[in-house]
Amino acid sequence: KNGLDGWLRYAPLPCSHQCHSKLPSNIVTLNQTTRSPVYVAGSELQKGLKEIYASHVQIHHGQHGQCKDFSAVIVGTVAQYRKTCGPADEVPHLDEDGFWLNTKGSHVRILGQNEKGTLYGTYEYLSMLAQGNFSDVAYSTNPSALIRWVNQWDNMDGSIERGYGGPSIFFRGEKIVDDLARVIQYARLLASVRINAVVVNNVNANATLLAPENIQCLGRIADVFRPYGVQIGISLNFASPKTFGGLNIFDPLDTTVIKWWSNITNQIYQRVPDMAGYLIKADSEGQPGPQTYNRTLADAANLFAKAVKPYGGIVMYRSFVYDHNLNQSNWKADRANAAVDFFKHLDGKFNDNVVVQIKYGPIDFQVREPASPLFANLLNTSMAIELQVTQEYLGQQSHLVYLAPLWRDILDFDMRVDHKPSSVRDIVTAKRFNRKLGGSAAVVNVGTNTTWLGSHLAMSNLYAYGRLAWNPTDDPEDMLRDWIRLTFDLDRNLLDTITRMSMDSRPAYENYSGNLGIQTLTDILYTHYGPNPASQDNNGWGQWTRADRTTIGMDRTVKNGTDFSGQYPPEVAAMYESNETTPENLLLWFHHVDYTHRLHSGKTVIQHFYDAHYQGAETAQGFLDQWESLQGKIDHERYEHIRQRLEYQAGHSIVWRDTINNFYHNLSGIADKAKRVGNHPWRIDTGWPFRDCFWLCGYCHRSNDTAGT
Ligand code: BDP
């Protein structure tokens, strides 16, 4: 099997005694309308039982008598159950999209607050069965938030911005593809992890999506997702009225512009009555926006908010707005300040169906960033967190980097707003400031590749994203173990091995790319891949390291630096203001120090760099051996694909290690105490773009540590 089924593989399992006594012999669904989520739930259950336990089970569509069938699994909403089967007094209160799963007693009941919830519960039950788990459970679960979206960065020409898994499953040649079979498979995967909306096109949006024939085709995409409880949304290009609509203006307060957008919105909702809403990137990285007309970002957001309001739609307005022409000679200038600078004064000015979508860190999906201070600055505005399943700066799916621990670091961070507990998790799920809306969105770059993301192991990130969107306190390792069992096998050794590799992967990547908060140090101008520390400075796109011969790090303090630390509430600001209290993994994010500055470990910053890069690369090289110990336990296709990726990573981690270490060694002139750095006269350092070439020489890493030569 290839990777298309992801974690819904339903791999065959032997049916033990317990299994025989617990497997249902009938499925009763309480809605017989085909293409309803409850109907889909029934079919999915039938498929799962057949594939996992070779059990051929009939589906019955809700008749009164069947509710009493002792060995049935009953699937429906609480309301449908009451209507067909009678009282449901045991079912606790459920929130929207929530469900109750009861496997105790004579029959299994999966009852959702709505049809979507029922489908989620069905996947939950199937996930138990696929892990050989027949325990008696009775519990309900509810989502932490109603916005659990993914954002595709797919272009109309079929390419995917930051896509590493082949071309788009949605678009080709400026049109929507005819064959949507892959979209159905994607819908299954998304529904199984309780994602409820997908924005199908790139935030750098192309207005031709609004052409009448494309709107019709968007309807086809929505029709495919609907039975799985997934709504669609679209990204808009702010200048569309002018570039596409024939007006000579796109001012958000101009009446002809307002009318134009409302007209387009009406046309879309006629074809897609349940469209989730719009996603807007404006005034960012060269994209048009309201600033052209001296209008505020809130003017822009509210323009769309009013257009979708009658349909119950929402507007996700991205806070990723910054000036990419900032000049580093100004000591106060700092890209990290941008989101708060642009949005804080607009707090309270957004309509109630606007949600400001905030990247988790102040810069851009780096391996370690402090949580964006904007989360603590919009007390009267709905917010959502933006994550990236796409490993844009994190090895582009050619490196194993399991991201749930990174996301948890951010979600758990306590902003101490008004000196009260204020985790990012409670803020974005709308609890902390009592908002109506909140949640999360993740950029996902699935493509037509049979691995979906370009790497089988990267799928753990998509799986974990869905789980965290539902419950942001889910444990990264637990989620991972479920994913491994569902994706590969229940074998203990396999489970432990992939768990260990994945849990070690982000620390390894951080160690060999950029540590102590200096950031990922990829090439920043073009590829966002491979080491290029020099590219981080002297342009507005970079994180800026301000590294010179004796010192390194961004001074972001209020006292001497860019004032960024002052954007946090007082307790957090005070922590970051001093290099004594700043966590060391963010030291160089907030402070400019000598290379000889001593860390708590007693090591100097520069020696820590050297050691960490060696350690990270060594860990990554160990992944390959660990993986190879699993040969025979995984089908050849997936085993070999992953093996090649890990072999490549093993070599590329050495390229990272040596490029970064040599760069700072040359700059600082400070010797490595262990005498490694600078002592490889035969080694060629690479900058970017080395990727394609490196595929060819990935094999040499084993021979005496000489990869990269
Ligand atoms: C950057 C990406 C760029 C995106 C942008 C965004 O490099 O491709 O368009 O973020 O999020 O990280 O809008």
Average pLDDT over residues 627-634: 97
Measured between alpha carbons, how far is 188 from 186 in angstroms, rounded to an integer? 5
Q: Is the CB of 159 under 6 A from ligand 1?
A: no
Query: Residue 673: helix, strand or coil by DSSP?
Result: coil
Q: How confident is the model at residue 678 (pLDDT cuts 50, 70, 90)?
A: confident
Distance 185 CA to ligand 1 centre (A): 26
Residues 6+ apart with CB under 8 A from 657: 512, 613, 614, 616, 617
Q: How confident is the model at residue 610 (pLDDT cuts 50, 70, 90)?
A: very high
- Measure the CA angle with vertex 140, ends 137 and 144; round to 5°: 135
Per-residue pLDDT at 696 exceeds 60: no
Cβ–ligand 1 contact at 358 (below 6 Å)? no
Nearest CA to ligand 1 atom 1: 364
Rounded CA-CA distance 255/287 in Å is: 22
Q: Is 281 in the pocket of ligand 1 (CB under 6 A)?
A: yes
Q: What mean pLDDT comes out for the span 283-287?
A: 95
Query: Which residues 6+ apart lie within 8 Å of 236 measured at CB?
Result: 205, 207, 278, 279, 280, 304
Q: What is the pLDDT of residue 697?
A: 43
433-486 per-position pLDDT tens digit: 999 999 999 999 999 999 999 999 999 999 999 999 999 999 999 999 999 999
Q: Does residue 626 line the site of ligand 1, with CB under 6 A?
A: no
For residue 162, the ligand 1 atom closest to its alpha carbon is 8
Give 472-476's long-range contacts (Cβ < 8 A, gap of 24+).
472/144, 472/408, 472/411, 472/425, 472/429, 473/425, 476/402, 476/404, 476/405, 476/408, 476/503
Q: Cβ(529) to ligand 1 under 6 A?
A: no
The predicted structure's pLDDT at residue 670: 98
Assess contact for 532 and 519: CB atoms under 8 A.
Answer: no
In whole angstroms, give the CA distance from residue 407 to residue 385. 10
Whether ligand 1 lies within 6 angstroms of the CB of 336 is answered as: no
Interior angle at CA 132, CA 128 and CA 138, nearest 5: 40
Q: What are phi and psi of 194, to 5 degrees?
A: 65, 30
Return the H-helix or E-strand segment holding 297.
Answer: helix 297-308
For residue 42, how far is its CA from the centre of ligand 1 (angstroms)?
A: 40
Domain locations in the chain? 17-141, 147-487, 512-554+592-702
Q: Whose CA is nearest to atom 10 of ligand 1?
A: 364
Tell me how far the alpha carbon of residue 540 lies from the centroid of ligand 1, in angstroms.
14
DSSP E strand boundaries for 54-103: 58-61, 72-77, 99-102
Closest CA to 474 of 424, 371, 404: 404
Indicate the top mutation candidate among 150, 152, 162, 324 to test ligand 1's pocket, ranked by most ligand atoms within 8 A of CB.
162
Pick 488 or 702 by higher pLDDT: 488
From the CA of 359, give the closest atom in ligand 1.
Answer: 11
CA distance 664 to 676: 13
* 287 CA → ligand 1 middle, Å: 11
Query: What positions carry a catalytic annotation?
Result: 285, 364, 392
Burial of 156 (0-12, 13-18, 19+ CB in 10 A): buried
Please state the atom number of ligand 1 nearest to the C-alpha of residue 365.
12
Average pLDDT of span 393-404: 98
Residue tagged 């890069």 (tokens): 613
pTM: 0.96
Query: To the nearest whole number, what is the mean pLDDT of the chain?
Result: 94
CA angle 333, 384, 369 (to 5 degrees): 40
pLDDT digits (tens, 9 = 90+) for 185-220: 999 999 999 999 999 999 999 999 999 999 999 999
Residue with more model confidence, 465 or 71? 465
Q: Is the pLDDT of residue 355 over 80?
A: yes
- Nearest-CA residue for ligand 1 atom 9 is 204
Task: Please give the distance, rounded to the nearest whole angstrom, from the Cα atom of residue 67 to the centre of ligand 1.
Answer: 52
Q: Is 527 in the pocket of ligand 1 (CB under 6 A)?
A: no
Render 361-412 in DSSP notation, one character per residue: SSSSS-SS-PPPGGGGT-TTSEEEEEEESS-TTTTTTTS----HHHHHHHHH
* Distance from residue 47's CA to the centre of ligand 1 (Å): 39
pLDDT (tens digit, 9 = 90+) per residue, 517-562? 999 999 998 899 999 999 999 999 889 999 999 999 999 999 999 9
Check pocket membership of 482 for ligand 1, CB cut-off 6 A. Answer: no
**Main-chain phi, psi angles of 471, to 5 degrees:** -135, 95
pLDDT band at 69 (very low <50, low <70, confident <90, very high): confident
In angstroms, what is the span from residue 161 Cα to ligand 1's centroid?
A: 8
pLDDT at 1: 67
Does 203 contact ligand 1 (Cβ within 6 A)?
Answer: yes
Upper half-sphere CA count for residue 657 (Cβ side, 13 Å): 31
Asked whether the predicted pLDDT for residue 706 surpasses 50, the reply is no
Q: What is the percent of the chain with per-residue pLDDT over 90, rounded to a whole number?
A: 91
Residue 554 φ then ψ, to 5°: -90, 125
Phi, psi of 649 (to 5 degrees): -60, -40
Q: What single string gives the DSSP state of each residue in 487-534? A: HT---HHHHHHHHHHHHHHHHHHHHHH--TT----B-TTTT--SB-GG
pLDDT of residue 63: 73
| Choice among 20-24, 233-237, 247-251, 262-266 with the minimum mean pLDDT | 20-24
Q: Are 41 and 118 in contact, with CB atoms under 8 Å apart? A: yes
- Write out pLDDT tens, residues 101-139: 999 988 899 999 999 999 999 999 999 999 999 999 999
**DSSP secondary structure code for residue 173 in this structure:** T
Position in ligand 1 atom list of the atom nearest CA 386: 11
- 17-141 architecture in CATH? 2-Layer Sandwich (3.30)
**pLDDT at position 425, please?**
98
With tokens 């008598």, the residue in question is 65
The per-residue pLDDT for 705 is: 37
387, 392, 529: residue to mutate for ligand 1 pocket, most atoms within 8 A of CB: 392
Say yes or no: CB of residue 204 within 6 Å of ligand 1.
Answer: yes
Measured in Å, residue 524 CA sits from the centre of ligand 1 at 11
pLDDT for residue 692: 41
Q: Give yes or no for a contact between 143 and 95, defined as CB atoms under 8 angstroms apart.
A: yes
| pLDDT for the residue numbered 551 | 98
Tell me, rounded to whole angstroms, the distance of Cα 230 from its chain centroid. 17
Determine the atom of ligand 1 nearest the C-alpha atom of 204. Answer: 9
**Cβ of 161 below 6 Å from ligand 1:** yes
| 558 torsion bin: left (phi>0), alpha (psi -120 to 50), beta (else) | alpha
Q: What local confidence, expressed as pLDDT, does residue 586 receive?
A: 98
Q: Is 205 in the pocket of ligand 1 (CB under 6 A)?
A: no
> ipTM value of the model?
0.98
DSSP state, 683?
P
Interval between CA 394 and ligand 1 midpoint (Å):
14
The 3-state DSSP class for residue 75 equals strand
Q: What is the pLDDT of residue 686?
A: 53
Residue 438 DSSP SS3: strand
Indicate left, alpha or beta for 152 from its phi (over 0: left) and psi (-120 to 50: alpha). beta
Q: Are 316 and 149 in contact (CB under 8 A)?
A: yes
* Rounded CA separation 108/91 (Å): 13
Name the class of domain 147-487.
alpha beta
Q: What's the CATH code, domain 512-554+592-702?
A: 3.90.1330.10
Indicate whether residue 506 lines ligand 1 (CB < 6 A): no
Q: Which atom of ligand 1 is nearest to the CA of 443?
A: 11
- The string of pLDDT tens digits covering residues 306-324 is 999 999 999 999 999 999 9
Q: What are the distances in angstroms from CA 619 to CA 104, 289, 401, 518, 654?
A: 45, 45, 12, 20, 11
